[in-house]
Structure 1
Amino acid sequence: MTEEPVGKDIKKGPRFGVRHIQTLLLFFNIVVVSVSRLNISVAVVAMTNAESTNPNFQEFDWTEQQKSYIISSFYWGYVVTQFPGGYLSRRFGAKIVMTIAVCGSAVCSLLTPLLVTIGGWQIFCIIRIIQGLFQAALFPAIHEHIAKWSPPQERNILGALTYSGVDCGTVLAMLVSGMIASSTLGWPGISYISAGLGFGWSVLWLIFAADYPPLSRFITEAECRYIEKSLRRDDDFHAKRVPVPWLAMFTSVPFLALLIVRCAETWGFCTVQTQIPSYFNGVFSMNIKSNALYSALPYIARWIMSYTYLYFGNMAVRRAWLPLTVVRKIANSMALWLPAFIMVGIGFLDDTNQAWAITLMTLNVGFNGGVTIGCVLSTIDLSPNHAGVVMGIVNTLANMVSLLTPLVVGFIVTDVQNRFEWQIVFIIAASIFFLGNLIYVIYGTAEAQPWDAPDFLLKKNIEDPTSVTKSSFSGCKSAFNVKTKATDCKVNSMSVEKLG
């Protein structure tokens, strides 16, 4: 199943349109939630070693095992609501789901300093679990939103720009969090600033976001028609409830390959992402300020490399040098196999090789930036109509890995200064990287699967695509001609051929 090309006579609307505004909002959403999720790695070090940051704030005597519980507890909640997040986004729309998720997470950040002072590491774990419950709904909702707003020919660019927020947020979490902890705000300031960013983003999202093009107050008719025609939607598409083909999905080899590679990528990335501060602090004896700076360097490289991958990948597809499936596999192989080899070498460095450690860690994470145009966007490729549900399933299992990774590291690394223990951690991550991507290279694809068709379970044939696209825009026109509630655009009274 492939998408029909858009006719040259269809105007795209403004050069910078509402679909680009949606992309920017999603980008900043990922930045905000990444900061609140990942600053814990820096915050825990600051909270247990106040002398290296700001000694005017309370210091906690937590063991390495207790710190690993705190770091991993976010993912205990994060696993639970991934799939419900995808379902709720289909049922109620991404706008309300994401608003509740970000505001709930911001409240947790706001209350963290007070509650941790009262209840210690145990209450810290509870707060992080609740925060994980809120944030879990976001990525399925983001996928659902991208699928509804991005024309297939722009999906690579809009999707990659959206997900580059992960790298931006990671850089800010590691670099800025260390500066905040060293400032007069101390470690509580990390939580307060995270909360402020969450509330600020929510206001912008409520003003400018719309669940799909005909509901937007700001979109032009030309841009609305362009998006809807690109996705071959008829008038009542947004009012339909397309059933999910569960059996076909879970017996689909490309879907299972995607599931495996996402779990493998999550293991390796989570290992590096959550353990860099402890690794540098233990093996190289860096203080928290330089720790935060050097820990951020790999993600600055990843951020830059994600755009490099996007540039060359998009060029290869646009100029028909390579099929999209091949581009996805090449990018993903560079993103997982190169870091796998580098990761093994990192574990054999000691405190006399500080420069090499920083260089190799930077290269490791930088190369990994290719997963965005690799396996991450494959979720939408396989099933644009069920993107939120598919992402919810994939992320649920992938984040079970995120839950296990810090616990495994905490079990292996009993002494953060022990280089041999870190070698074991990095070799395990490298092996999982290699095997996961090998399966994706053999069985993965960027082609939409047969079970994505709206009529797959209804056993009906889709009408002639030409007749569908000719009648598919009265919903857009009604958004500009009828001054009633925006939801009236969902179903148009004009006669159209129905898809199911």
Structure 2
Amino acid sequence: METGEDTRPEWGKRLSKCVPLPQRVIMSIMGFLSIINNYTLRSCISVTITRLVLARSYSNETEASGEVCPKPDETVDDEETPGGEYDWSQELQGYILGSFYIGYILGHVPAGLLSEKYGAKWVLVCGMSTATILTLLTPLCITLLGPYALIVLRTIMGFGAGFSYPSCSALLAHWVPLHERSLLGAFIMGGGQMGTVLSNSLSGALLRYAKWPWVFYTFGIMAALWILFFILMCFSDPNSHPYISDKEKEYLMKHMGRLGRDHNLPRFPWVPVFKSKEMWVLILAQIAHDWGFYVMSSCFPKFLNDVLQLQILKTGIFSSIPFLLFWLFSLIFGGIADCVIKRNATKATIARKVMTFIAATPSGLFMVLAVYVGCNTALIILCFTISMSLMGGYYAGIKLTANDMTPNYSATVMAIVNGIGGIAGVLAPYSVGWLTKKTHLHEWQQVFWLALAILTIPTIPFCIWGTAEVQEWNESAKKE
């Protein structure tokens, strides 16, 4: 509830006149960096695992058959090791890559409930601190305890990382007006793509020029620095911010009608939410997106390494290009959606549906096309880049729909939707490991045909029944 009384300390009032950027922009930048760190911590193992396990060897007949591409005719420096020492099967690698998402799923709902009750700042800090500490301990776990302990460690790590999206969703709901939400929301949530870009490219460079533990140490230290700056600079809502400017407070009050969290908010309306058709079609669309995204983020470096037989530095660079374009196009699609909504707020539902459709079927079609163009590396990377660019529409589509449907309970709804969608993060890497036991091209073709089907079919109900309108259950509990 708003009292209208300025409770800021004197130092905060003075500092508010010295900060050039609006605090909602600073919050968005730090939220963007939080998602970047979340994804570097989870994804750096995707490239690193190609140098942990024993190198794959193929016969001349296998290369001649087109099941894998001939090894590029390039000189390999003596310093580059083609493989590692761990004899982990493709299925075990799938379990390792997917184990993160078991904990990731479980972390969402507690994070959403805690963010609404106590504020998102410290929930996000606690979750990221857990993921950061365990990332720094990963080399020790691998060398001393083995792959099954690594699975347990990454499961717990995923639980902490699962706090990020619900917390960031709560920050968006309390800081950003509707007509700015598509662009700033896409900017924050798109940090996942930049995190994957940074993870893949920097991991490749570190693996080329340093020992593999430094991959985990580097990203752990970066995340620790972010935690420190976030604690000093960001707050759960404008009302608790000690040095927000009077001008920004007036602007947010005008466009949002409030500055703080409603501390008298009733308990989450579980029954109405799960009886809502709109909620279930949103969950289905989230599963579709997550499957396509996690196939690419977790397993694309393995495809480049196993089928194209690229060196580790090129694997890191080439696997990052599609995600860089993913992020850029998520901002473009977000800006377009904001323009549509600002002109006519009633068209928000149409904007969300159109963006979601663009990110589904056309994106999946280019994934499939990429594995039917032979061994032309440039053409393969181009097809995957177009695919991921189109997938950028998701962030102006389904990712912001939870905020539209329920400003009061956006953190918990995001937790439910993103948490259930995280099931794809468990199943997608394991399905890739199960389908690509020999790492042959025809096996990878099955992987991307499956991705196309899952991207398309669950998205259809959202395009029919999805909505960006505030739901009745957002206020019904308070009215009762």
TM-score range, shorter chain: 0.7 to 0.9
Q: Find the partner of 1:93 among 119, 136, 147.
A: 119
Displacement of 1:105 in angstroms is 1.0
Partner of 2:280: 256
Deviation of 1:69 after TM superposition, in Å, equals 1.3
Structure 2, gaps ≥5 residues long: 1-16, 56-75
Verify the 8 A CA contact 1:348 1:419 in the aligned structure 2.
no
Contact persistence 1:47–1:60 (CA under 8 A): yes
- State the partner residue of 2:147: 121
The yes-or-no answer on 1:397 pairing with 2:417 is no
Separation in 1, partners of 2:83, 2:132: 22
CA distance in 2, matches of 1:331, 1:424: 26
Report SS of the residue matched to 1:238.
coil
CA contact (8 A) 1:74 1:132 kept: yes
Letter in 2 for 1:173: S
1:479 paired residue number: none
Residue 24 of structure 1 deviates from its aligned partner by 0.7
Which letter does structure 2 place at the counterpart of 1:319? R
For residue 371 of structure 1, report the CA deviation from its aligned partner.
Answer: 0.3
- 1:284 pairs with 308, 316, 322, which one? 308
* Contact 2:54 2:84 (8 Å CA) reproduced: no
Maintained 8 Å contact 1:265/1:436: no
Shift of 1:259: 0.7
Alpha-carbon offset, residue 396 of structure 1: 1.7
Instruction: Tell which deviates more after alignment, 288-297 or 321-330.
Output: 321-330
Deviations 1:317-376 (CA, angstroms, capped at 9, x unpaired): 33349811111111111111211222222233433x322211111111111011000110
The match for 2:318 is 294
Query: Could you tell me which of 437, 456, 462 is aligned with 2:459?
Result: 437
2:437 alignment partner, SS class: coil
| Structure 1 position 172 matched with structure 2 position 194 | no
Separation in 2, partners of 1:322, 1:49? 56
Cross-structure match for 1:188: 213
> CA shift at 1:426, angstroms?
0.7
Answer yes or no: is the 8 Å Cα contact 2:182–2:335 preserved in 1: no
* 1:378 aligned partner: 401
Relative to structure 1, the CA distance from residue 234 to residue 243 in structure 2 (aligned partners, 3 Å threshold; closer, same or farther) is farther
- Conserved 8 A contact 2:407-2:474: yes
**What amino acid does structure 2 have at the position aligned with 1:203?**
L
SS in 2 for 1:457: helix
Structure 1 residues 276, 214: closer, same or farther in 2, change over 3 A?
same
The structure 1 residue matched to 2:354, chosen from 302, 318, 330, is: 330
Residue aligning to 2:7 = none
Q: What's the Cα RMSD here?
A: 2.1
Which of 385, 406, 412 is the equivalent residue of 1:362? 385
> 1:358-413 CA deviation, whole Å, 9 max, x = no partner?
11111111110110001100111111110011011112210112111111111111
Spell out the pairing of 1:66-85 with structure 2 (5 A cutoff). 66-85=92-111
Does the alignment pair 1:425 with 2:447? yes
C-alpha distance 372-15 of structure 1, shift in aligned 2 (>3 A): farther
Query: 2:236 is paired with a residue of what secondary structure?
Result: coil
**Residues 340, 430 of structure 1: 8 Å contact kept:** yes
1: CA distance, partners of 2:90 / 2:311: 17
Q: Would the alpha carbon gap of residues 331 and 385 (structure 1) be closer, same or farther in structure 2, given more than 3 Å must change?
A: same
Residues 340 and 351, structure 2, Cα contact 8 Å, conserved in 1: yes
2:45 counterpart residue number: 40
Match of 2:10 in 1: none
Distance 1:169 1:248 in 2: 36
Looking at structure 1, the residues matched to 214 and 357 of structure 2 have their Cα atoms a distance apart, in angstroms, of 39
Instruction: Give the match for residue 484 of structure 1.
Output: none
Provide the rounded CA distance (Å) in 2 between the counterparts of 1:31 and 1:65.
Answer: 28
Counterpart of 1:16? 21
Q: In the alignment, what sits opposite 1:388?
A: 411
Q: When the two structures are aligned, how many residues end up with a matched partner?
A: 442
Distance in 2 (alpha carbons) for counterparts of 1:233 and 1:192: 42
SS, match of residue 457 in structure 2:
helix
TM-score calculated relative to the size of structure 2: 0.88
1:313 aligns with 2:337: yes
Question: Deviations along 1:134-154, whole A, 9 cap, x unmatched?
Answer: 111111111111101112222
Partner of 2:234: 209
Per-residue deviation, 1:243: 2.4
User: CA 1:90–1:319 in 2, change beyond 3 Å: closer, same or farther?
Assistant: closer
Helix, strand or coil at the partner of 2:477: coil
Could you tell me how far apart the structure 2 residues matched to 1:101 and 1:313 are? 31
Alignment partner of 1:198 is 2:195 = no
* Aligned CA distance change for structure 1 residues 250 and 305 (closer, same or farther; 3 Å): same
- Give yes or no for contact 2:32–2:190 (8 Å, CA) kept in 1: yes
The offset of 1:312, in angstroms, is: 2.2
Which residue, out of 239, 242, 256, partners 2:266?
242
Which of 457, 467, 483 matches 2:477?
A: 457
Q: Are residues 294 and 56 of structure 1, via their aligned partners in 2, closer, same or farther at CA, if it must alter by over 3 Å?
A: closer
SS of 1:446's partner is coil
| Distance in 2, Cα, partners of 1:426 & 1:273 | 13
Quote the residue 1:6 is aligned against.
none
TM-score, length of structure 1 as denominator length: 0.84
